[in-house]
Structure 1
Amino acid sequence: MKPNLFLILGVMLAPHAFAQAPVSNADREIVFKSVHVIPMDRESVLRDQTVVVKNGKITALGQGSQVKYASNALVVDAKGKYLTPGWSEMHAHVPAVEDLAPMKDVLTLYLANGITTIRGMLGNAKHLELREKVRSGEILGPNFYTTGPAFSGQTVKTAQRGIELVKEEKAAGYDYLKLLPGLTKETFPGIAKTSKELGIPMVGHVSFAVGVWMAIDAGYSSIDHLDGFVEAITPGIDTLAEQETGLFGTWIAYSADTTKIPKLIAALKAKNIRVVPTQAIAERWLSPLPASAYEKDLELKYLKPEEIKNWMNAKNSYNNNPKFNKERAEAFVNIRRKLILACQKGGVELLLGCDAPQVLNVPGFATHHELKYLTEAGLTPYEALKTGTVNVASYLNKTDSGTIKTGNVSDLVLLSGNPLEDISQTRNIEGVMIGTKWLPKAFIQSELKKLEK
């Protein structure tokens, strides 16, 4: 187990230097001086600003001479750098195990990559404990929301069991219900009805037997992976068995009818259903490229050799499937790009998420891939960044989050370059502010080093 990222209090630092360890501003101001601010409430850059944070809030923002701060403040020389709201990862996989150690390692990977909020999608009772330890500050990690144990064909055999499981998870205190494949037209309605009655939202997959239209009518909170979307726009889908369609419609996407997309987007918009694309899964695991194209990815050093082997085997298994061919794989990726862009243009709120750890997706690092893939689908860098900031704040109803302004929470990322001009600049992190804690680059790099396998 790697050392925990616990809050270090009382660190004595020169007031105009970067800290080499986490610094709490619970009793001390932290000042970002001469920084370019990307406020995210509009597509602009506020240049040469001074930003003051204390007690987890932004307390002042403006031109340097106009902003006052205490003489003992920690001043971060951020000249020429860019300050943006922290990003959210809305389809994260935190290990569902009894040991907190691997969970903490995953939280470290997310924070190190500027992710200040996550929604854990592998429900486990231990995650309730983890959530409370993060909230109390005992464990340093992103703001944490959790689903309960998944609803699937294995866990829900009858309609009555589905209803009972909703009640159990609501009583346990989970934030969301995670739906997996395998639900039926008999078991799903009771889950949806009880979910609405108890106010615990449904998120995740759309079961093939249920279909996206029933899922939309039932009022999913978010549909993840674009699950069911390809099937919804493919003629003759009612004549096919689930195993014939492939994961997320991989084997049938080449025959999808794009003229059916507007109807789907209108239905999602009408029900205010958010969409978490996890396009990184499609662009990497389900792409036409061979496994060898990913073997030298630097982020793989944070995985155990057996994990890398399993991922490469999964990629090879996909590419060696008799139903696979390069052209159809390209068609699958491209139709998903079209669906993502249609959501953006049609007013369906996209939420940033990439399903990591998952095949070829390393936690935190995969989120940067996802942002890039969103721009390749046609979103501007600003629109892509909104999926992990403004849109998530709206989804979570956190009016003091997602933008940089006085009074908002101080979940922030300091970058060396402007991501509005080049989305890949999200990777160039100079430091992360999570609530009351400032994590400078040197500290982040030292913690990442400890996680190398």
Structure 2
Amino acid sequence: MKKNILTVLSLLGVMTVSAQQPADLVISPVKVIDIKTGKITPDQAIIIRHDTILAVTSLQRARQYKATQTFDGGNQYAMPGLWDNHMHFGGGDTLADENKNFLPLYLAHGITAVRDCSADISAQVLKWRDEVNKGSLQGPTIFTSGPKLEGYKSVWLGDIEIGTTAELNHALDSLQRMHVDFVKITDNTIKPELYLEAVKAARQRGMIISGHVPYALTLQQVTDAGLSSVEHLSYVWKAGVKDEAALSHSIANGDIKGRDINRYILAHFDTTAALKAYRHMAAKGTAVTPTLSLGQVLAYFDQDDHAHDPYLAYIGKGLQKTYEMRVKRVMKDDSAAIAYRKELYEKESAILPLLQKAGVMIMAGTDAGYLNSFDYPGIGLHRELALMVHFGLTPLQALQASVINSPLFLHQQGYGALAAGKKADILLLRANPLEDILNTEKINAVVTKGRLLDRSALDQLLNKVKADNAR
């Protein structure tokens, strides 16, 4: 009888083991943060197979999975990996290797996806994008515009310059053959009417369109045309004047130009008019990426010139030289100009809560990388999130701007939450970022496409970049 009971128990044990589902990685125990609601669920296990989350479940139910690797979550906070929704690779082919070192910097700072908003090394960026997607290159998932659209003799390098409808259509054909993730259009020399035509034509092709906005156009004109996102707050700040159409007409005629435009906006900004414009923007589905970081660096350059930032050890010497243009410009400012640029930055940034109130989708992006002085890939996103909170968003809203809104903008369904079927891009934090946004920097581990990088592995990534730059 005793022998029979032992046999039955043994068979049950075999059945239990055989019933276990295979997994590559189990992380437990963790407190899972729902970035959509702010709810935190303790005592959870995250089950990963390949690059996908199989389940987020209780510790008891996690026993039904048999993993080849387990990681002690230490009851720390788990959330989806961060996104930097506006950065730049660039500086020419000779700086390609320095740009490539952005990839480990982003991962080491918990950023598992980036949106490259164009410069002049599109061929390399498209190659890196595809290699990351295939798993032959380690780095954040890259979404890129390829070369942006501009008018003739633009100041920017690497643009596709257009001046006619035929050239516009040829340019869009070219971008579609590159399989870009979105289209970028800027406002340096492009004709306003061709800008609107470009937005409409790209929209008709089913493309996502980001842009700077020509000041000769109103925000309503570009949102009605179908612009998907406005890059930088300054372009939506202008819409807060009582009669933006009159201002745009004066700019188009050359009656108001240069710094007088911003002085006019400062004098005539109206909260009621701004909310009306921003609600129309929200109704049309046009998002905004504020990019507060660079403006803060330049506005307060007299207080901190960043020459001794420890993070410069991670930025190549060639890329550091691209910072010089902006630095030389702000160094010419006298005391009155310094006070003016600070006032301008503070007033522009103060519209962030108005945009949130109006229902505009806000995305977190830094403008980091090539050219933009001391606006750093990696750590820069944590600075951006902190500035978003400083100017009126809650920590949860700032995290939503990175983790939820960025993939939503790019029509990427596999991101934004820790749940079954979502991508296994995970950030494990030692402290709660909903209590203090600076806690996003307290990184214990990162999972990228299902691969675990513990604190030691993240430090190795940083050390390698530093060593490469030292050489």
Give, in whole Å, the separation in 1 of the partners of 2:207 and 2:335. Answer: 39
- Secondary structure, in 3 states, of the residue corresponding to 1:283? helix
Query: Contact 1:179–1:203 at 8 Å: present in 2 too?
Result: yes
The Cα shift of 1:309 comes to 5.7
Q: Is the 8 A contact 1:36 1:83 kept in 2?
A: yes
Q: How does 1:39-438 map to 2 (within 5 A)?
A: 39-68=34-63, 70-95=65-90, 97-98=92-93, 101-122=97-118, 124-154=122-152, 155-181=161-187, 182-234=189-241, 237=247, 238-240=249-251, 241=254, 244-245=258-259, 254-259=266-271, 260-285=273-298, 287-290=299-302, 292-305=304-317, 307-308=319-320, 311=323, 314-321=326-333, 325-357=337-369, 358-438=372-452
For the structure 1 residues 97 and 130, does the alpha-carbon distance in structure 2 shift closer, same or farther, using more than 3 Å as the test?
Answer: farther
2:100 aligned partner, one-letter code: K
Q: Percent sequence identity over matched residues?
A: 24
Secondary structure of the 1:414 match is: strand
CA distance in 2, matches of 1:303, 1:403: 31
TM-superposed deviation, 1:65:
2.2
Give 1:164's aligned amino acid.
Answer: H
Matched to 1:91, the amino acid is: H
Length-normalised TM-score, structure 1 = 0.86
Contact kept, 8 Å, 1:56 with 1:436, in 2: the verdict is yes
Judge which range, 47-56 or 352-361, deviates more.
Answer: 47-56
Aligned pair in 2 of structure 1 residues 205, 227: CA closer, same or farther (>3 Å)?
A: farther
Q: Cα 1:292–1:360, aligned 2, differ >3 Å: closer, same or farther?
A: same
Contact 2:291 2:367 in 1 (8 A): yes
Q: Could you say which structure has the larger radius of gyration?
A: 2
Q: Distance in 1 between matches of 2:195 and 2:335?
A: 30
TM superposition shift of 1:389: 1.1
Q: What letter is aligned with 1:419? A: P
Q: CA deviation at 1:388?
A: 0.8
The one-letter amino acid paired with 2:163 is: K
Please say if residues 381 and 423 of structure 1, whose CA atoms lie closer than 8 Å, have aligned partners that are also in contact: yes
CA distance in 1 between partners of 2:208 and 2:46 (Å): 36
Aligned length: 424
Q: Which runs of 5+ in 2 are unaligned?
A: 1-21, 153-160
What are the Cα deviations for residues 1-45 of structure 1, in whole angstroms up to 9, with x where unaligned?
xxxxxxxxxxxxxxxxxxxxxxxxxx8521211211112131121
Whole-Å Cα distance in 1 between the matches of residues 237 and 198 of structure 2?
24
Residues 274-283 or 202-211, more deviating: 202-211
- Distance in 2 (CA, whole Å) between partners of 1:245 and 1:230 is 14
Judge conservation of contact 2:240–2:275 (CA < 8 Å) in 1.
no
CA contact (8 A) 1:148 1:174 kept: yes
Q: Alpha carbons of 1:243 and 1:148: their partners in 2 closer, same or farther (altered >3 Å)?
A: farther
Native 8 Å contact 2:23 2:47 kept in 1? no
How far does residue 425 in structure 1 lie from its aligned partner after superposition? 0.9
- Report the Cα distance in structure 1 between the residues aligned to 2:334 and 2:265, rounded to whole angstroms: 16
The CA deviation string for residues 326-356 of structure 1, in whole angstroms up to 9 with x for no partner, is 4422322222233211111111111110101
Contact 1:372 1:424 in 2 (8 A): yes
Are the structure 2 counterparts of residues 153 and 245 from structure 1 closer, same or farther at C-alpha, using a change threshold of 3 Å? Answer: farther
Kept in 2, the 8 Å contact 1:291–1:315? The answer is no
Give the TM-score, by structure 2 length: 0.83
SS in 2 for 1:186: helix
> What SS does the corresponding residue of 2:356 show, helix, strand or coil?
helix
Cα deviation for residue 280 of structure 1 reads 0.8
- More off after superposition, 431-440 vs 226-235: 226-235
Structure-2 change in CA distance of 1:65 and 1:71 (3 Å): same
AA partner of residue 130 (structure 2): E
AA in 2 matched with 1:135: N
Deviation of residue 167 (structure 1)? 2.1
The residue type paired with residue 229 of structure 2 is: S
Residue 209 and residue 424 in structure 1: after superposition, are their counterparts in 2 closer, same or farther (change >3 A)?
A: same
Residues 245-276 of structure 1: per-residue CA shift (max 9 Å, x gap): 38xx6655532413321122112111100111
Partner Cα distance (1:323, 1:196) in 2: 45
| Mean Cα deviation higher: 273-282 or 296-305 | 296-305
Alpha-carbon distance in 2 for matches of 1:140, 1:69: 31
The verdict on how the C-alpha distance between 1:96 and 1:366 changes in structure 2, with shifts beyond 3 A counting, is same
The structure-2 alpha-carbon separation of the partners of 1:293 and 1:56, relative to structure 1 and needing over 3 Å to count, comes to same
Amino acid in the other structure paired with 2:202: S
Q: 1:141 to 1:69 in 2, by over 3 A?
A: farther
CA distance in 2, matches of 1:102, 1:296: 20
Deviations 1:118-163 (A, max 9, x none): 1111152332222211111111111111102111123123343223
Shift of 1:234: 4.2
Mind listing any 5+ residue stretches in structure 1 that lack a counterpart? 1-26
For 2:262 and 2:458, how far apart are their aligned partners in 1?
38
Give secondary structure in 1 for the equivalent of 2:288: strand
Change (3 A) 1:413 1:252: farther
